[in-house]
Amino acid sequence: MHIRWKHVAIALAILPFAAVFAVWTGLFNVGAASGHWKITDWFLHFAMQSSVRTYALPVEVPEPLPREGLAAAAGHFETGCAVCHSSPDVPRDAWARQMLPEPPALSDVLASDKWTDAELFRIVKHGVRFTGMPAWPTQDRDDEIWAMVAFLREMPDLDAKAYRDLAYGPSSANAVAPAVNDLETLVADCARCHGEDGMGRGDAVPVLAGQQRTYLEESLVAYAANRRESGVMTQAALDADADLFADLAAYYADLPRADMETRTAPGAELVERGRAIAMEGLPDDDIPSCDSCHARLDRNPAYPAIDGQKHHYLQTQLELFAEEKRGGTSLAETMHEFSRHLKPEDIEALAAYYSTLEPQ
């Protein structure tokens, strides 16, 4: 049989219209109950795995994976991920197993080393189209995403108790997230990351005890309005009752600052460099003294207290300011302007210096 190219061209021209007509009839079944054909299921998974592998190629993996944010990552996983992917403590809900595609039980998948660290980062940050896997709530906090990758790597080795202790802290015996509708339950929910004493669980979580009340309240408002970037805190602020923000800020502001017994003392030379910048600024770069805003007892109540704050947390925040990836109050623009002129070694030195100070 002789096939003419003219007939092939006509068939190809008609094919899109035929496909649209077939879809228009409504006969194509989009219900999840019937599942995919095996060839369709294979093709979709093949496409997803190939895409993740390709887009993960330029991702630079930190060595070692950061562990400072494990507690916050575990808490976020318990709140937003475990309901679909299960956890060492609780299996998936029945409705999650009826999703199409069915979300995998991550402990099993991760134990098989199917994904590299770079590929996990890609999935957590950008999500997966045509599934229930969303992108990370903000694309400007790679530090949070790497903390989640570090947690995912540890999760297969956690038993139920170890998982609860990591996700809920010392109060893990009552590891049931209540509706956040009063101050007591809201404080209990915050304590999962920030600790019952407000000192923070992990070096990536800030010390809230004794912090400026106005600063805390404005930060919560900024997180809820998505003006300050954090996948973890944005979700927490949105889940809370905004009418309780002022009371919550007052609660943490009134907590006494405890000693950080596990704090690592930075080198004396690094601290001295940080002290010089904090007290004198960098005149050649038009950077004023940090103390002129942050150390004054009569300072603007929206300026945070950073004396005695954690080294890792301070360094991360200054890096975010320098990259203009941290917003919040109207004062953030001031920090963008100053921080962008700081060298990486300046940022590390300032964080080291302020972390050694006793709280005022």
Cα separation, 196 vs 258, in Å, equals 11
Residue with tokens 């600052």: 257
Model pTM score: 0.89
Low-confidence residues of the chain, pLDDT below 70?
Answer: 1-3, 171-180, 260-264
pLDDT in tens, 10-66: 888 898 888 888 888 988 888 888 888 899 999 999 999 999 999 999 999 999 999
Fold (topology level) of 51-56+68-167: Cytochrome Bc1 Complex; Chain D, domain 2 (1.10.760)
Residue 66 has a pLDDT of 94
Cα separation, 146 vs 184, in Å, equals 31
Residue 209 has a pLDDT of 96
Residue 10 has a pLDDT of 84
pLDDT in tens, 236-270: 999 999 999 999 999 999 999 877 665 667 789 99
Cα separation, 43 vs 155, in Å, equals 29
Residue 264 has a pLDDT of 67
Domain with CATH 1.10.760.10 in the chain: 178-253, 268-356
109: exposed, middle or buried (C-beta count within 10 Å: 0-12, 13-18, 19+)? middle
Domain 268-356 architecture: Orthogonal Bundle (1.10)
Cα separation, 61 vs 75, in Å, equals 23
* Statement: 178-253 belongs to CATH 1.10.760.10: yes
Distances from the Cα of 85 to the Cα of 50, 99, 100, 337, 343, angstroms: 22, 11, 13, 42, 41
Residue 92 has a pLDDT of 83
